[in-house]
Structures are given as structure tokens and as C-alpha cells.
């Protein structure tokens, strides 16, 4: 006899401040697994009502599963964080959507009844482990022309999206990037970004110990003029620059998920309810368009339309990727529902960790917006994919905001 599916609750999410990858970044001398340990411990610290032994699994994503991001990091980080040895764990790789996939994977277990409570998240230390480190792509990808040669270089795939949609000019992308920086800076000043941070002790061989308490990548004061002269490293006279794309970053995220019935039993808050999710594949050489079919698929399965979505958190790997999504669905470049606290162009994109950053921000936005019923987290994924998760606001009061069902 099959049991009915349970409602999956996003209880809470936290993250480390994001750092710049490289020898000068704040986490240059910090281990990737220690970043994960910090977020797991912070989730448990913030929720003493959760007995640690009630955690049924720990799913942690990393794109480059090598070194201190390898060795089944979900299990090893759980042990290092002090969870009981009875709590299992595992690792996940879906490139940029690693943490998103960690969440949807444990959510399936919760809905099925295999789990009551789980931790899901992701980490990427791009300073220690550049994307593609140690990989050996099968030569048939090229010899059999399974993918275009540009498919393995994310910046080139973004230039390809520009080719496909010539209306998305470099100027539009730069303008979007400026707004992302401005919205992020405003959100920090207003205290919207920061409460989800877990401070991380850092070490520098010459300067000694420090404490990371804020994101390192943002460039406040960015202007159209300052972006106009940046190099286009992926193509001569191209359109993708360091200013209208996310950088190379280090950081970790973690989220606590539970069956809503278990959350009520333990006294855990319910930040969001999962409505549904979908992943979709596209041509790898234009991976940035992946969120479009993933969103169409997720909406269809949920019985919703794009007009039902009152808040969007779209990962900003590249401005052109976000704008291609907005154009497809007829959403204005400056729509206040979209990335209202800025995005990865400002705060950074440590690959596999970013999905939970989107979710954590959406959950906190829901708490401020009882007029919004549904929200969405969506992102493009390397090698030609997109992922979308639709969420319901538990604080919804029935007073429809514009664009909400």
C-alpha cells in the first residue's frame, strides 16, 4: 500500500560569506569541508529544538569532487560537524545546480516518507579547485561532434546565447549588472542580506587570523562607464565581461528541510513549502537558456503559469542568461519581482553552493510578503541543463499581489 506524499518544508538556510577565489581571497587558506562544517553547525545552533539524531541524511554538493571537496563530503562533513555517527551522508554533482539538486533529492525522500528531516547544501572552493580540475572529457565529445567545442567553456556558451538573441546587447547586460550591484548594496544596507551568514574564522600566513562576516565579491559603485571598457576574454569584440558575469568564488550553503508534519511536531519554523521542481536539458553550447524549459516543465506539472509567480530568484551566472529568461516570459528587465536583493553578479557564484542561496533569500522574502503566494528559484547548469523549483509562501494571507494567483 503506497502512502500519500507529504508536504516538504524548507525550514531554514544559512551560508558562509562568499569569497573571491585565489591566493588573495578570504578563504585561500581555509578548507572546503570546514566551510560545510560551519553551515551544518550553524543550522543546528539556530534550531536547538531539533535533536541532532533526528537528522536522517546529509546531502552536500560539489562540482569538483577532489581533495577537500571529495571523500563523500556529505558524510565526512556531518562527522566533522559533530552529528551522531548514526547520521549518514552523501555527495552530489550537478555542476552549478548541485545544492539545488541536494534539496530536491532529500525532498523526494521526505515526500516519500523515507526521511523526516534532512540537511542539504553545497560547497565550492574555486580557489583550491578550479572548475574542470582533474577531469578527462571523453575524446568522442569532439571527434563524434556530440557537443560544440565551446560547450565546455561557460563564458563561450554565454557568447553563444548572445548570438542566438541579438536583441540582448552588451549594453543591456551591463545595465542589468549595474542594477544587480545596486540592489545588492541596498539590501545589505537595509539588513536584508547578512542575517543568513555564519561568520568564518580565516587564516592568512602573514596577517594572521581574521573573521569573514561579509561577501567579498561585490563592487559597489559600479557604473555603465566602468563596465564599458572591460575586456571580453571569451571572444574578440565579444559581449561577456567580468562585469556582467559572476566571478570565481569560494563559499558554502546549507538548508534544513523536513516534512511539514515533523516540523510542526518539533516546533521548527516553515519558511516555504515545495510545490514542485524540474530539470531539463538543452544544447550544451547554449547552456544559459536551460532555465526556460526547466521552468516551463515545472509550471506545467504544478498547474501554474508564469503570471502566478510573485517572486523570482534567478542565479546570475551571466547577465545574458537572465535576460534570455526574462525575454522568453515577457518580463521586464527591471521587474521588481526578479532578484530584488541583487544576485550572483554582485555577491558571487561558488558553483554547487548557489542553489541554496537562492532558496534562503526567497524564504526570507516570503516572510516579508504575505501578499505573494508562489515564488521560484531557477538556474542554468553547465553541460546544457536548467533547474527550477517552485515554492509556496506559508505566510500567504489571500490578498493577491500583482501577478499572484
The answer as to whether 15 is a domain residue is yes
What pLDDT shows up at residue 169?
A: 98
C-alpha 303/C-alpha 275 separation (Å) is: 10
What pLDDT shows up at residue 285?
A: 97
What pLDDT shows up at residue 132?
A: 87
* Selected catalytic residue, list 125, 162, 347, 380: 380
C-alpha 329/C-alpha 219 separation (Å) is: 29
What pLDDT shows up at residue 223?
A: 97
- Does the active-site annotation cover 125? no
Asked whether the beta carbons of 230 and 240 are under 8 A apart, the reply is: no
The β-bridge relationship of strands 200-204 and 89-92 is unpaired
The answer as to whether 88 is a domain residue is yes
Residues 6 or more apart whose CB falls under 8 angstroms from that of 116 comprise: 54, 56, 110, 258, 259, 262
The answer as to whether 21 is a domain residue is yes
Nearest residue to 12 (alpha-carbon basis) of 45, 56, 37, 53: 45
What pLDDT shows up at residue 207?
A: 83
Whole-number Cα distances in Å, 41 to 34, 77, 198, 258: 10, 10, 9, 17
The answer as to whether 240 is a domain residue is no
Tens digit of pLDDT for each residue in 243-285?
Answer: 999 999 999 999 999 999 999 999 999 999 999 999 999 999 9
CA atoms within 13 A on the CB side of 76: 15
* Selected catalytic residue, list 96, 129, 173, 347: 96
What pLDDT shows up at residue 307?
A: 98
The answer as to whether 175 is a domain residue is no
Does pTM surpass 0.85?
yes
What pLDDT shows up at residue 58?
A: 98
Cell 506524499 locates to 5
- Does the active-site annotation cover 380? yes
What pLDDT shows up at residue 403?
A: 44
For residue 34, the surrounding DSSP H or E stretch is helix 32-46
Cell 537562492 locates to 358
What pLDDT shows up at residue 402?
A: 45
**What does R_g of the chain's alpha carbons equal in angstroms?**
20
Alpha carbon dihedral 76, 82, 88, 92, in 10-degree steps, equals -40
Cell of 121: 547544501
What pLDDT shows up at residue 398?
A: 86
The answer as to whether 65 is a domain residue is yes
Cell of 148: 560544440
C-alpha 234/C-alpha 5 separation (Å) is: 46
Number of domains in the chain: 1
Residues 6 or more apart whose CB falls under 8 angstroms from that of 122 comprise: 60, 61, 62, 92, 98, 99, 102, 252, 253, 350, 351, 352, 353, 354, 355, 356
What pLDDT shows up at residue 404?
A: 43
How far apart are the two ends of the chain, measured CA to CA in Å? Answer: 35
What residues does 211 pair with on adjacent strands?
201
The answer as to whether 122 is a domain residue is yes
The β-bridge relationship of strands 208-212 and 249-259 is unpaired
Nearest residue to 92 (alpha-carbon basis) of 245, 253, 200, 249: 253
What pLDDT shows up at residue 3?
A: 60
* Selected catalytic residue, list 125, 129, 162, 349: 349
What pLDDT shows up at residue 204?
A: 86
Asked whether the beta carbons of 239 and 170 are under 8 A apart, the reply is: yes
C-alpha 76/C-alpha 69 separation (Å) is: 10
Positions in the chain whose pLDDT score sits under 70: 1-4, 400-405
- The residue segments making up the domain with residue 35 are 8-129+247-391
Burial class (CB in 10 A: 0-12, 13-18, 19+), 341: buried
The answer as to whether 32 is a domain residue is yes
CATH number where 338 lies? 3.40.47.10
CA 253, 51, 366, 306 dihedral sign is positive
Whole-number Cα distances in Å, 118 to 45, 56, 122, 304: 15, 5, 14, 28
Amino acid at each position: 500500500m503506497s502512502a500519500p506524499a507529504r508536504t516538504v518544508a524548507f525550514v531554514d538556510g544559512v551560508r558562509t560569506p562568499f569569497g573571491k577565489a585565489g591566493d588573495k581571497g578570504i578563504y585561500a587558506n581555509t578548507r572546503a569541508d570546514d566551510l560545510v562544517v560551519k553551515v551544518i553547525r550553524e543550522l543546528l545552533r539556530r534550531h536547538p529544538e531539533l535533536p541532532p539524531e533526528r537528522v536522517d541524511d546529509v546531502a552536500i554538493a560539489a562540482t569538483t569532487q577532489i581533495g577537500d571537496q571529495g571523500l563523500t563530503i556529505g558524510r565526512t562533513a556531518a562527522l566533522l560537524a559533530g552529528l551522531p555517527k548514526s547520521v549518514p551522508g552523501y555527495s552530489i554533482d550537478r555542476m552549478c545546480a548541485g545544492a539545488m539538486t541536494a534539496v530536491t533529492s532529500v525532498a523526494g525522500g521526505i515526500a516519500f516518507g523515507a526521511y523526516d528531516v534532512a540537511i542539504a547544501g553545497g560547497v565550492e572552493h574555486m580557489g583550491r579547485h578550479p572548475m574542470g580540475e582533474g577531469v578527462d572529457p571523453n575524446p568522442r565529445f569532439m571527434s563524434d561532434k556530440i557537443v560544440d567545442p565551446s560547450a565546455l567553456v561557460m563564458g563561450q556558451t554565454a557568447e553563444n546565447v548572445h548570438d542566438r538573441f541579438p536583441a540582448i546587447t552588451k549594453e543591456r547586460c551591463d545595465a542589468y549588472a549595474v542594477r544587480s550591484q545596486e540592489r545588492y548594496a541596498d539590501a545589505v544596507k537595509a539588513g536584508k542580506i547578512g542575517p543568513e551568514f555564519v561568520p568564518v574564522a580565516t587564516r592568512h600566513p602573514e596577517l594572521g587570523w581574521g573573521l569573514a562576516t561579509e561577501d567579498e565579491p561585490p563592487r559597489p559603485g559600479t557604473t555603465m562607464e566602468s563596465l564599458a571598457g572591460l575586456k571580453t576574454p571569451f571572444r574578440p569584440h565579444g559581449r561577456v565581461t567580468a562585469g556582467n558575469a559572476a566571478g570565481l568564488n569560494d563559499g558554502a550553503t546549507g538548508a534544513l528541510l523536513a516534512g511539514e508534519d515533523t516540523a510542526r511536531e518539533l516546533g521548527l519554523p516553515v519558511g516555504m513549502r515545495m510545490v514542485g521542481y524540474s530539470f531539463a536539458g538543452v544544447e550544451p553550447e547554449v547552456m544559459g537558456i536551460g532555465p526556460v524549459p526547466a521552468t516551463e516543465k515545472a509550471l506545467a506539472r504544478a498547474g501554474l503559469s508564469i503570471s502566478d509567480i510573485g517572486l523570482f530568484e534567478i542565479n546570475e551566472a551571466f547577465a545574458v542568461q537572465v535576460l534570455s529568461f526574462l525575454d522568453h516570459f515577457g518580463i521586464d528587465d527591471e521587474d521588481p519581482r526578479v532578484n530584488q536583493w541583487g544576485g550572483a553578479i554582485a555577491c558571487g557564484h561558488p558553483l554547487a553552493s548557489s542553489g541554496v542561496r537562492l532558496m534562503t533569500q526567497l524564504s526570507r522574502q516570503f516572510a516579508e510578503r504575505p501578499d505573494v503566494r508562489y515564488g521560484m528559484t531557477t538556474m542554468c547548469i553547465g553541460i546544457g541543463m536548467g533547474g527550477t523549483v517552485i515554492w509556496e509562501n506559508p505566510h500567504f494571507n489571500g490578498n493577491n499581489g500583482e501577478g499572484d494567483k
